[in-house]
Amino acid sequence: MSDISQFDPNSVGLKANNIFGLPFSEEQAQLVLIPVPWEVTVSYRAGTARGPEQIFEAAMQVDLFDPDVKDGWKKGFYMQPVDKNISSISNRLRDSAELIIENLADGFKVEDSTLLEAKMKDVNDGGKMLHDWAYNQASRLLQQGKKVGMIGGDHSTPLGFIKALADKHDDFGILQIDAHADLRIAYEGFTYSHASIMYNTLQQIPQVTKLVQVGIRDYCDEELEIIETSNGRITTFFDKDIKAQQYEGANWKTICQQILAALPQKVYISFDIDGLDPKLCPNTGTPVPGGFEMEQIIYLFKMLHDSGREIIGFDLNEVSSGNPANDSIDAIVGARVLFKLCNFMVA
């Protein structure tokens, strides 16, 4: 553990330190964050690949006092450097994916073009590469006894991380905060699409025995059928149903209790920032009207912690401040969500 006797938690956050201005190395930190600058298959607006760096910058403005988990930061949080090679591959493959998406929108079929078929293979091979990279990164840290969180990037990024957790935990659930169900099968032909992360997780990782989705408000018939035929493996709290309960007199605590009742003892949190009201994430890749205030989700996380369940890992993804970054609120919201996730993880 780092000697923090000379560290002033009330002072200005120093970028010479690490995330939130904390003076911990990777070896000293109990919780290590893996940044993933990846946005190859985003289907609307780009920018989320810069999310980890933008969150890091904004994190210097987050005060370290947390009334829910006092002095949680003392256990040590550390964010690894952004891997420039991953970023470079993402940029290259993003060009290929954009060409494919543009042609699909114009009515062309990938199988009718040798060029598009080659680019589709490159994109799918790249997705497999990232999956393996994330798996190896997370496995190494977990074997060292570290707690691990991941910062995207688009929502495809945590598949390898979740698989690494499955090597350690043989039965756990996922709490997904999201506007989208992410249960599409190879959306737009991309095997590792951001819109396919939960489908791929359920198909490839049997240790995930439960998926509880909260805030879903943009989904297709195919996804609804997957939910309805999952034999209880998926429980979805649609945004419209949550709002209807509230309009009819239910309070948020009661709804949170319903959500928690669907979760097993061990829980992985997957937080797509677009689960929030778009006013809090206006530059996210695929914003959808509706959603939550940040405080509602933090309250849910506190209830999850207080219930005695174990948070075994988390990802935070789809945070983007635009291209180029502007004066929007996205990154600071992301940084504050991240701080709460870190604290509940080590509490």
**Helical H segments across 205-268, by residue range:** 221-228, 239-247, 252-261
Q: Quick one: what percent of the chain has pLDDT higher than 90? A: 93
- Cα torsion 147, 67, 266, 297 to 10°: value is -110
Q: Is the pLDDT of residue 326 over 80?
A: no
Instruction: Calculate ∠ Cα 301-314-34, nearest 5°.
Output: 140
pLDDT in tens, 280-316: 999 999 999 999 999 999 999 999 999 999 999 999 9
Place of tokens 């290929």: 96
pLDDT of residue 6: 86
pTM: 0.96
pLDDT in tens, 26-42: 999 999 999 999 999 99
- Whole-number mean pLDDT of the chain? 96
Residues paired with 243 in a beta bridge: none
pLDDT in tens, 87-125: 999 999 999 999 999 999 999 999 999 999 999 999 999
> What's the order of all strands across the beta sheet hosting 234-238?
77-79, 31-36, 147-152, 310-317, 266-272, 172-177, 208-216, 234-238
Boundaries of every domain in the chain: 19-346
CA distance 275 to 173: 18
Take residue 151 and report the two structure tokens written for it. 């910062």
Helices 159-168 and 114-143, interaxial angle, to 10°?
40
Least confident piece of the model among 145-149, 181-185, 199-203, 318-322: 318-322
Take residue 324 and report the two structure tokens written for it. 């180029």
Assign a CATH topology to domain 19-346: Arginase; Chain A (3.40.800)
Residues paired with 311 in a beta bridge: 267
Are the CB atoms for 283 and 45 separated by under 8 Å? yes
One-letter amino acid at 188 equals: E
